[in-house]
Structure 1
Amino acid sequence: MDKFSYNKPKLKIPKSPLQKALDILASIAFAAGIVHLIAVWGQLPDQVPAHYNGAGEIDRWGSKWELILLPTIAAFLAVFMTFLEKHPEWHNYMNLNEGNIEFQYRNSILLLNVMKNECVLLFVYLNYQTVQVALGQAESLGILFLPIFLAVFFGSMIFFIVRSIKHK
């Protein structure tokens, strides 16, 4: 391996309008999820769904206080992934060279941004749907939840990996 592989340059790459828009959308959804949880807190039973199986059916019940875990995890992931977005020189690349480094950094940053915001939206949806189940307004996540989530999440990864490979 050459020296370039180990000492990747640090480039100042500003957020694109798409990244800013995705961050704003996820932030609004996150805030709305917190407001919703606070608004319905008094109506929630002591026991709420705490885990779902692959078919979206409840397989464990727990304290309503466990609902605080979902936004906490979402916030932690958002902060951590935002930090990683700012350091594309730490990311792992295939075929990185001086001719494609800026594209590869931008691609990697956008991948992280998209996945970060998908994670936040996932946790907001899980919290909302769990509240709906606890209040008797829904029965489960639904059988399509997991396949749709996996298709979106892995679809994003595949899109950005293919994009990276095409720009050797």
Structure 2
Amino acid sequence: MTNASKHPKLKFEKTKSEFVWDIIGLSCYIGSIILLIVVWNSLPDQIPAHYNALGEVDRWGVKWELLILPVIGVFIILLMQVFERYPETHNYSERLNLANAKQFYLNSRKMVNQLKNISLIIFASIIFESISIALGWGNPLGGWFLPAALLSVFLPIIIGIVKQRKIQ
């Protein structure tokens, strides 16, 4: 059953953890957009546009560049919602069968949900960081941000793979 077209189609409700992740991710994302709207007229013409691995600004750009992350966020929301909705299209091992399909699908769907919302939180953090530096509020994220962002993205993947291996 490795061919996605042969995977059974199952419908089941979102879990509480998926709802919680959606609330946290969307709240951070929408909150960053609201903050951006509120401070837009106060932003200088030049804002931080790129950061190096230590969290230091290594390129400045026009404030309109801040709109790139919310636009990418919308794309991520839409694309990942499709992936969440159709877990039967994900790639699974040969062990997938009708008896364990729901476990595989739920595990995969939760991983996609977490990655979607972690991406939104990361984008919101970068928007907040850029606004903070541009308005002189400080540099709250600094050098720990990149390792934390990478860990937050790879940890759900690793956990998902481990959980998938335990499915009978």
**The TM-score by the shorter chain falls in which range?**
over 0.9
CA distance in 2, matches of 1:140, 1:61: 18
Q: How far 1:156 moved relative to its partner?
A: 1.1
Where 1:12 maps in the other structure, the secondary structure is coil
Q: Is the 8 A contact 2:2 2:91 kept in 1?
A: no
CA distance in 2, matches of 1:41, 1:74: 19
Residue type of the alignment partner of 2:90 = H
CA distance in 2, matches of 1:66, 1:35: 16
CA distance in 1, matches of 2:18, 2:33: 22
**Hey, what does 2:19 align to over in structure 1?**
20
- For residues 45-71 of structure 1, the C-alpha deviation after alignment (integer angstroms, 9 at most, x for no partner) is 101011111111111111100001111
1:44 correspondence with 2:43: yes
Kindly report structure 1 stretches of 4+ aligned residues shifted beyond 2 Å.
none
CA distance in 2, matches of 1:100, 1:125: 38
What is the correspondence of 1:92-131 to structure 2 with a 5 Å cutoff? 92-94=91-93, 95-131=95-131
Q: CA RMSD in A?
A: 1.2
Q: How far 1:31 moved relative to its partner?
A: 1.7
Q: Is the 8 A contact 2:129 2:139 kept in 1?
A: no
- For residues 34-93 of structure 1, the C-alpha deviation after alignment (integer angstroms, 9 at most, x for no partner) is 111011111111010111111111111111000011111111101110111011111001
Q: Is the 8 A contact 1:22 1:114 kept in 2?
A: yes
Where 2:151 maps in the other structure, the secondary structure is helix
Identity %: 40
User: Structure 1 stretch 53-62 or stretch 25-34: which is displaced more?
Assistant: 25-34
User: Structure 1 stretch 36-45 or stretch 13-22: which is displaced more?
Assistant: 13-22
Structure 2, unpaired ranges of 5+: none
CA distance in 2, matches of 1:26, 1:151: 17
**Hey, what does 2:2 align to over in structure 1?**
5
* TM-score normalised by length of structure 1: 0.93
Residue type of the alignment partner of 1:135 = L
Q: Is the 8 A contact 1:50 1:62 kept in 2?
A: yes
**Hey, what does 2:151 align to over in structure 1?**
151
Where 1:5 maps in the other structure, the secondary structure is coil
Residue type of the alignment partner of 1:133 = I
* TM-score normalised by length of structure 2: 0.93
Q: How far 1:5 moved relative to its partner?
A: 2.4
Residue type of the alignment partner of 2:18 = Q
